[in-house]
Amino acid sequence: MCGIVGYTGHENARDIIIDGLKKLEYRGYDSAGIAMQSKGELIVRKQKGKIANLEKTIADEHLYGTTGIGHTRWATHGVPSDLNAHPHVSGDGSIAIVHNGIVENYVELRRQLTEEYGVVFRTDTDSEVIAHLVSVLHKGKLEDAVLEAVKRMKGAYAFAAISKDEPGKIVAFRKDAPLIAGLGRGCNFIASDIPALLKYLNKIYLIENDELVICTPEQIQILDQQKNPVKREVLQVTWSLEDAEKEGYEHFMLKEIHEQPKAIRETLTRRLDENGRIRLDGISLTLEDLEHFNKIYIVACGTAYHAGLVGKYIIEKMARIPVEVDVASEFRYRDPFVDDRTLFIAISQSGETLDTLAALREAKRKGARVLSVVNVVGSSVARESDDVFYTWAGPEIAVASTKAYTTQLICLYLIALYMADLRGTISQSYYQEVLAELQAIPDKVSTIISRAGEIEELAKYLYNRDQVFFIGRGIDSAVAYEGSLKLKEVSYINSFAIAAGELKHGTIALMEPETIVIALATQDFLFDKMYSNIVEVKARMAHVVSIAKEGDEKIREESTEVIYIPRCADEVTPLLSVIPLQLFAYYVARERGEDIDKPRNLAKSVTVE
């Protein structure tokens, strides 16, 4: 959600903070602002809209200060506006804060601050409470005031504060929202995410829950809530700045679609030993453990949830263990049947998704063993899991996830094969066949991407439609959900996915002449059933775009267009069939002139409920 950047050093903080905020634009935002210490005062500039608007506004101002904080806001409390934008400043102008997350008891705190201290609130945000609360508690050291403030705050948040009376110091606190500290040369940083700092450094501290950071040009101190020093290992970031740049592509989404062969290969080969067998470093599941589990829960949100739907199919087919897939935001509110015989698999690209993190904690509280599939090393989900399976997708900047999804799928295939091999539920020949199919996937993905021009031309013809239906059977239905989500995320077309067999139970009533139906028909053993469903919608004069394996010529009889994927085993088709759906969504959105990398109302890392 919101992005935080802080800098303290010996250079002018203005441009450094603005540059860092630009690297966090992928998180989604509706306003931006900066606050800097300058000649014993705080300078604050903030504005609704893009960072470019803020830059233009302050372009002719000589703003100078060597310590400051910046923010990109995604509105939760109060409409997007100049006034509601961050940073927020206390009534006496002594404290400025930037905040990511939610203060759940902000109404109570507002009332208390108004009645006891005469505080006048100027915004509709929950965040402003923090500035006033820190200010009234500030008696000497900023860190003491922040620690007192968080004792009175409820919620999930991270925030950073500066004081006009303590030059060169930034104090930040983390509770259930991402926060890192970066070590530079003669300068130090705080931020919500690594890309904000890559231009300046590659050494960071991962800040844990309920920890306070004191950042000065000379040092970074990490304290617990009792003000005890915390020792923390430095994490060396292996991403390059170029990894987070477009490298000539028009959009990050297109770049990341093209990066999928490399990302899939990296995620796969890092988990195979010299004999070509699966090696799950960092995962200590034994046969005894697997025999102890009577159920697996896969819990995630959005695209990661759709990866989980594929995972359910693959794990049940291969490892023969019952799997339930749940939306994280619903999981913890229905008292699920979870105990010490449950394996809980959490999937999250960022590892900071609040709903998934809360579901994970609920599962652990009930005694479950937690295995996470995440992309960001050292993220909250990773740190709170018993076992971690990292994807090797690299930084994913576009809000609409592409390479994170396909690498999550690879992880789930490897987990399923590993479990099945341990339990003896598949033969060694089948084990080797599936591994060989997976190893062929990167080249086959490259083949599909090389034909992107065909999908681009199709998008030019279909981009102005009002609604699109995605249908599939078996494992294809899971991919249909992901294809539908991609299209609605970036093009804003009302897309809808359904298991094809359910069409006749209501949804077919919506079929009209020229309604677009994207039909996934990649499962050989279900092909005849799927063909019948295509005939049903074609009889209603639908415009049918079918996704099928090369060589399936019969499907042309009832399809308006066919997009072919290379032949492969039914089990691994999701890794290929999703690629044309990602490309279709991208090209449709481009034809419609949408902001593809930063869709409206969306954020990359959802750190609030």
**Residues labelled as active-site residues:** 2, 604
What is the Cα–Cα distance from 417 to 435, expressed in whole angstroms? Answer: 8
Residue 197, both tokens: 């700092």
What is the Cα–Cα distance from 383 to 206, expressed in whole angstroms? Answer: 10
DSSP sequence for 155-177? EEEEEEEEETTSTT-EEEEEEBS
Nearest to 305 by CA among 482, 490, 494: 482
Nearest to 474 by CA among 522, 517, 506, 426: 522
Beta-strand runs (E) in 119-265? 155-163, 170-175, 180-183, 188-191, 203-206, 211-215, 220-223, 235-236
Q: What is the 3-state secondary structure (H, E, C) of 423-465?
A: HCCCCHHHHHHHHHHHHHHHHHHHHHHHCHHHHHHHHHHHCCC
**In this structure, which amino acid lies at residue 558?**
E
Residue 460, both tokens: 């030019």
DSSP code at position 603 = -
What is the Cα–Cα distance from 493 to 496, expressed in whole angstroms? Answer: 9
Alpha-carbon dihedral angle through residues 211, 129, 357, 259, given to the nearest 10 degrees: -90
What is the Cα–Cα distance from 58 to 63, expressed in whole angstroms? Answer: 8
Q: What is the 3-state secondary structure (H, E, C) of 538-571?
A: HHCCCEEEEEEECCCCHHHHHCCEEEEECCCCHH
What is the Cα–Cα distance from 37 to 67, expressed in whole angstroms? Answer: 6
What is the Cα–Cα distance from 42 to 244, expressed in whole angstroms? Answer: 32
Name residues whose C-beta falls within 8 Å of residue 601's C-beta, 6 or more positions apart in sequence: 28
Decide if 606 contacts 1 (C-beta within 8 A).
Answer: yes
Decide if 576 contacts 566 (C-beta within 8 A).
Answer: yes
Helix (H) or strand (E) holding 47: strand 41-48
What is the Cα–Cα distance from 101 to 126, expressed in whole angstroms? Answer: 9
Helix (H) or strand (E) holding 486: helix 475-491
Alpha-carbon dihedral angle through residues 553, 559, 479, 293, given to the nearest 10 degrees: -60
Q: Is 497 left (phi over 0), alpha (psi -120 to 50) or beta?
A: beta
What is the Cα–Cα distance from 324 to 313, expressed in whole angstroms? Answer: 10
Q: Is 492 left (phi over 0), alpha (psi -120 to 50) or beta?
A: left
Orientation of helix 403-423 relative to helix 428-450, angle to 10°:
170
